[in-house]
Chain A
Amino acid sequence: MQGWFFVIILVLTACALFYIGRSRAVATVGGDPTVLHSKPGFHGAFVMICGMVPAVLLFFTWLLFSRYLTSAYVTAQLGADFANLATIEQNALIRNMRSFADRTDLSALSQLEAEAVEHYRAFVGRAALILQIVIGVLVVAGGWFAMRAIHQELRARQFVEKTVMSVLIAASGVAILTTLGIVLSLIFESVNFFQKVNFLDFLFGTHWSPQSAFEGVGEEATDRNSEVFGAIPVFAGTLLITAIAILVAAPIGLMSAIYLSDYASPKVRATAKPIMEILAGIPTVVYGFFAALTVAPFFRNTGEAIGISVSSESALAAGLVMGIMIIPFVSSLSDDVINSVPQSLRDGSAGLGATKSETIRRVILPAALPGIVSALMLAISRAIGETMIVVMAAGLSANMTVNPLEAVTTVTVQIVTLLVGDQEFDSAKTLAAFALGLVLFCVTLLLNVIALRVIKKYREQYD
């Protein structure tokens, strides 16, 4: 409620500043706005920007860091009492402190926790007061300064446009910030992980069972720890499922694209394309549900009927459904690629008396090969990063096998299992997920960068 109140105050202040600036501008030229360099509205916006922007920036900075600052303050106040607690207890204390901050009845809390709440309230109260004062001063000072600057020749429009331009530039910087955030957080946590577990043991170890690495093992039994963090079986499982998915999606997707672009009547195309799009729009969790509850039991029962043992979390079921999921992806990318092969090549081949399929197989596909290969690389990257299908339909235990009827696990499954639930950011178990995430990010990024480059080159060739 307080938040909304604050927002309303901000909006009202902004409107007031705008109005003041506007009327001041009109007043300075004796009521004839046409002699102003910029229209009065720009003067209004000028005053508003000067008054509001610093204040709002300060407010958001506070929002971002307030939680961090409050916990830092409270921990410092509690001193050794707090430092002596285990990490889990420390986290619980902070959590309780926050949730009880607004309540009057503190009887459910321990002595230390109640003390923490007191410190918390004191700090937040003081900080809020200071913040309000500083914001008020900023608004008044900024507004007053801007008011003083208003005169007939003020280039208010340029100022406003420059401000808007900086906002636009900042917005496009968010994408860079996101990438930076991803890279830094993955690298930071991974480096922490590799301080506990040898990098080479992780990358080339063949035994993966992080659940058996208990808390504290990270510091104590390093060799045993290294032994349970060998990610090769996880990578192998990912590759197996990805391979199955691509074996399903590549031929079906490619043939669909060929059929739709070169054979299908406009009517068939008009029906089949939306169906492909529906397939692409279904959330992955639905595919996962289908894989786990329909496809996997079907394979297991079929296997049972013919006397083959099929795991109920077989790589085949997960891979097959994932393959179906990326069919539309492969087919739409291939469709683009095939369509960008110039018509003159088709005519040339047809003019020599080639049948359609000969033209496609011997002229179009070879010509489109680079594009198709990069489409498949994008599809592989998509399959490697796909999470929900494998979380729901693939296994948890890391088996090294190429048998698609057995259960294997994947990078994404492991990330989810390691991170869902409560995390301790200093345990090797949690950090391992970030190391896996880093590998996942690097591999998919590499595939994408190469694929996008090849496609770009390929398109340039026919433009």
Chain B
Amino acid sequence: MTDLTGGNVEQASIHTSEGARQRLAKRYRGESVFKWLGRSAIGVSVAFLLLLLSTVVFQGIPAFTFNFVSLPFELTEEKLGLDNSETSLRRANFDAVVRDGIRDQFPTVTGRSEKRALSGILSSGASVYLRQQVLDNPALVGSDDTRLEVPISDFADLYLKGQITSDYRIQGQGALRVDRTDNGLRLIADEPVFADALARAKEALRDQAASLRAQQSGLQLSLNKTRGDIKALQERIPAETNANVKNRLEAELERYQSDITVLEARIKQIEEQTKKIDSRVANPGLGEDLTGEMMSVLVYIDDAVLKAQKVTNTTANVEEFMPIDADVTNVAADQWYIRVLEVPESNRKFTDQEIVWTDELVERGYVRSGLNTIFFTRGASREPEMAGVLGAAVGSALTLIVTLLLSFPLGVAAAIYLEEFAPKNRWTTLIEVNINNLAAVPSIVFGLLGLAVFLNYFELDRSAPYVGGMVLALMTLPTIIIASRAALRAVPPSIREAALGIGASRLQTVVHHVLPLAMPGILTGTIIGMAQALGETAPLLMIGMVAFVVDIPMGFSDPATVLPVQIFMWADFPEPAFQQRTSAAIMVLLGFLITMNALAVVLRKRFERRW
């Protein structure tokens, strides 16, 4: 007995010894690392979701508001070119009305290109928008100073939302003299009031030099690489036997050689430029031209706005953006200020002049910022400010209606047959396997099916919602069948036995008892399938629903596009205003999806039954 007890003590030491304790500590470290890995895996998903949603929301929110300009427009019949008949109002010359409406505000603008730039502050869709208002209210014709709203251009809108450039002001630090010469206006001061602007200009030059050097070294790299490629090609060409390939390679070689000449010239050019800039930077007292690559300096004197072209510490050559009264010669320190627009003019699509004009319109109280009604009431457009999601949303709705009408009855019927009636034989097994695999077929393959069968073989309409609906119906069918079968299976056999027991036929049993009980589950599955179909893009690209559709589709065979495809198309446009509208359209799409899924969740919660 004693040695057995001794044996036990020895065994106990295996798990409580110092070594075991140390091993245990190590094992626990492994444990916490593992747990931490799991937690960070969840964290990555959550962080990504937040990043994605916040990017979309931050970018999309501004697109929900828009700036409208309400100007007094001259809507006389003469101006519109009307000849008394109601019908011609549609073809009336609203372009001229809009053009003159904005020009009347700035009578001092004279040059052709300046005038065109001025009209550009308003959206090119302004005339369309104005025409619609007049058509809605023909009584407006005849008045000559009715104030009507038209959309501002996309860049003016971005500027007003503070997304074009940041700026800051410096109050005037001394008196100015206005010197009118033949070469234009010049502002002269006794103190170095423009020293700050000059310093910033030198700074910008230094940055320019730095970026030129970076560019040069980049070019040098690709030059070296091209030289290497040429060498490789020159060695390869003689060894090549296939004549076709040889021709191709020779053409390539030629291209590379011409590339080299271009590269070398460019590098030389950059070198010279850099040298010039360096010498200017080295001399801080020297006056500088303020080019488009630098920040813009605007001088405000009362109503006048002057843009500095060239500054020294005490002088500035300026261009008149808003004219200065001819009799002004001396300006006290508190009567003027400098405004600096930080983003260089060449880096933005909205010029200093346009900024000044827009500011002026705001100051006169013509600009109103409000809900972007255009976005919610119009179809696609090449102009971001005139583009809306309604067309795509209606297209989506039409497509989904067709999808629902086809896939719901078919899916439920198939599920009922497979779950309630089908004998277990090779044929039904085949159908089952087939449905499971169909659910995993890439959506684009359904697009190929639609293209080859519906469009090419049956010659149905391209871009039509009913074809899109058919393709999506085939795609969602497996989802609905699988969900419906699960719902039918959840109905306990006792219900069926009860119905069969009192002499109902199998079909009556299913229709009267099983199906109603399974319906909430079936509907939930259907909604989820519909949500999938709503977000689907690829198969619709195949059947031409990527068409540019301006009109809002009114029927199942009108050319249409759908929300996700609209997002896809807009994402391709480079304009920042389109980027915002893409995000806004994504928000609309996600809004629909959230609604549908919430509906599914409510349905599930409401009718969930535990047997």
Residues of A within 8 A of B (CB): 64-65, 67-68, 71, 157, 161, 164-165, 167-169, 171-176, 178-179, 181-182, 185-186, 188-189, 223-224, 227, 251-256, 258-260, 263-264, 272, 275-276, 278-279, 281-290, 292-294, 324, 327-328, 331, 353, 355-358, 360-361, 378, 381-382, 384-388, 391-392, 412, 415-416, 419-420, 423, 425, 433-434, 437, 440-441, 444-445, 448-449, 452
Within 8 A of A (CB), among B407-435: 409-411, 413-414, 416-418, 421-422, 430-431, 433-435
Asked if residues B452 and A189 are in contact (CB atoms below 8 Å), the reply is: yes
Asked if residues A452 and B436 are in contact (CB atoms below 8 Å), the reply is: yes
State whether A181 and B449 are in contact (beta carbons under 8 Å apart), knowing that A67-B459, A283-B537, A387-B537 are contacts in the complex. Answer: yes
Asked if residues B45 and A279 are in contact (CB atoms below 8 Å), the reply is: yes
Residue of A nearest to B460 (CB): A67
Within 8 Å by CB of B431, from A175, A181, A284, A385, lies A175
Residue of B nearest to A292 (CB): B571
Asked if residues B414 and A174 are in contact (CB atoms below 8 Å), the reply is: yes
* Total A-B residue contacts, Cβ distance less than 8 Å: 256
Asked if residues B535 and A437 are in contact (CB atoms below 8 Å), the reply is: no
Asked if residues A448 and B42 are in contact (CB atoms below 8 Å), the reply is: no
B residues in contact with A281, CB < 8 Å: 531, 535, 593, 597
Asked if residues A168 and B421 are in contact (CB atoms below 8 Å), the reply is: yes
**Sample (15) of A-B pairs whose CB atoms are under 8 Å apart:** A164-B507, A165-B417, A181-B453, A182-B441, A182-B449, A263-B35, A275-B45, A275-B49, A283-B589, A286-B535, A289-B571, A331-B45, A392-B568, A415-B444, A425-B456
B residues in contact with A293, CB < 8 Å: 571, 579
Within 8 Å by CB of A324, from B15, B48, B416, B565, lies B48
Please encode chain B, from 255 to 293, with 1 for each CB lying within 8 Å of some chain A CB and 0 for all others: 000000000000000000000000000000000000000
A residues in contact with B477, CB < 8 Å: 174-175, 178
Does residue B536 face the partner (Cβ distance < 8 Å to A)? yes
Measured between alpha carbons, how far is A68 from B448 in the docked complex, in Å? Answer: 19
Measured between alpha carbons, how far is A400 from B40 in the docked complex, in Å? Answer: 34
A residues in contact with B444, CB < 8 Å: 385, 387, 412, 415-416, 437, 440
Asked if residues B593 and A283 are in contact (CB atoms below 8 Å), the reply is: yes
Measured between alpha carbons, how far is A453 from B186 in the docked complex, in Å? Answer: 85
Does residue B30 face the partner (Cβ distance < 8 Å to A)? yes
B residues in contact with A388, CB < 8 Å: 537-538, 564, 568
Does residue B458 face the partner (Cβ distance < 8 Å to A)? yes
Residue of B nearest to A168 (CB): B417
B residues in contact with A224, CB < 8 Å: 244
Within 8 Å by CB of B42, from A173, A259, A278, lies A259
Asked if residues B244 and A227 are in contact (CB atoms below 8 Å), the reply is: yes
Residue of B nearest to A162 (CB): B507
Asked if residues B441 and A416 are in contact (CB atoms below 8 Å), the reply is: no
Q: How far is the CB of B577 from chain A (nearest CB, A)?
A: 14
Q: How far is the CB of A272 from chain B (nearest CB, A)?
A: 5
Within 8 Å by CB of A289, from B45, B48, B414, B582, lies B582
Does residue B586 face the partner (Cβ distance < 8 Å to A)? yes
Measured between alpha carbons, how far is A169 from B447 in the docked complex, in Å? Answer: 26
Residue of B nearest to A223 (CB): B244
Does residue B46 face the partner (Cβ distance < 8 Å to A)? yes
Asked if residues B42 and A260 are in contact (CB atoms below 8 Å), the reply is: yes
B residues in contact with A433, CB < 8 Å: 448
Does residue B546 face the partner (Cβ distance < 8 Å to A)? yes
Q: How far is the CB of A17 from chain B (nearest CB, A)?
A: 21
Within 8 A of A (CB), among B508-535: 531, 534-535
Does residue B52 face the partner (Cβ distance < 8 Å to A)? yes
Measured between alpha carbons, how far is A223 from B244 in the docked complex, in Å? Answer: 9
Measured between alpha carbons, how far is A263 from B477 in the docked complex, in Å? Answer: 37
Measured between alpha carbons, how far is A68 from B458 in the docked complex, in Å? Answer: 6
Does residue B39 face the partner (Cβ distance < 8 Å to A)? yes
Asked if residues B417 and A419 are in contact (CB atoms below 8 Å), the reply is: no
Does residue B340 face the partner (Cβ distance < 8 Å to A)? no
Does residue B438 face the partner (Cβ distance < 8 Å to A)? yes
Within 8 Å by CB of A284, from B460, B535, B571, lies B535
B residues in contact with A275, CB < 8 Å: 45-46, 49
Within 8 A of A (CB), among B307-354: none
State whether A440 and B445 are in contact (beta carbons under 8 Å apart), knowing that A64-B458, A263-B38, A286-B590 are contacts in the complex. Answer: yes
State whether A188 and B579 are in contact (beta carbons under 8 Å apart), knowing that A286-B567, A452-B436 are contacts in the complex. Answer: no
Asked if residues B451 and A386 are in contact (CB atoms below 8 Å), the reply is: no
A residues in contact with B304, CB < 8 Å: none
Number of residues on chain B facing chain A (CB within 8 A)? 87
Apart from A260-B42, A285-B564, A392-B571, what are 15 other A-B pairs with CB-CB below 8 Å? A68-B458, A164-B507, A172-B431, A175-B435, A227-B244, A284-B535, A286-B52, A286-B589, A286-B590, A331-B45, A357-B35, A388-B537, A412-B442, A412-B538, A448-B437
Does residue B474 face the partner (Cβ distance < 8 Å to A)? yes
Please encode chain B, from 218 to 230, with 1 for each CB lying within 8 Å of some chain A CB and 0 for all others: 0000000000000
Does residue B41 face the partner (Cβ distance < 8 Å to A)? yes
Measured between alpha carbons, how far is A391 from B410 in the docked complex, in Å? Answer: 32
Q: How far is the CB of B578 from chain A (nearest CB, A)?
A: 11
Measured between alpha carbons, how far is A173 from B438 in the docked complex, in Å? Answer: 13
State whether A284 and B537 are in contact (beta carbons under 8 Å apart), knowing that A68-B459, A171-B410, A289-B571 are contacts in the complex. Answer: yes
Does residue B478 face the partner (Cβ distance < 8 Å to A)? yes
Measured between alpha carbons, how far is A281 from B437 in the docked complex, in Å? Answer: 20
Q: How far is the CB of B36 from chain A (nearest CB, A)?
A: 10
Within 8 A of A (CB), among B531-569: 531, 534-538, 541-542, 546, 564-565, 567-568
Does residue B505 face the partner (Cβ distance < 8 Å to A)? yes
Q: How far is the CB of A362 from chain B (nearest CB, A)?
A: 12
Residue of A nearest to B416 (CB): A168
State whether A272 and B35 are in contact (beta carbons under 8 Å apart), knowing that A175-B435, A283-B536, A441-B441 are contacts in the complex. Answer: no
Please encode chain B, from 6 to 42, with 1 for each CB lying within 8 Å of some chain A CB and 0 for all others: 0000000001000000000001101100110111111
State whether A357 and B440 are in contact (beta carbons under 8 Å apart), knowing that A185-B449, A224-B244, A294-B55 are contacts in the complex. Answer: no
Q: How far is the CB of A443 from chain B (nearest CB, A)?
A: 10
Asked if residues B45 and A324 are in contact (CB atoms below 8 Å), the reply is: yes
Residue of B nearest to A392 (CB): B571
Interface centre among A174, A176, A353, A386 (most CB of B within 10 A): A174
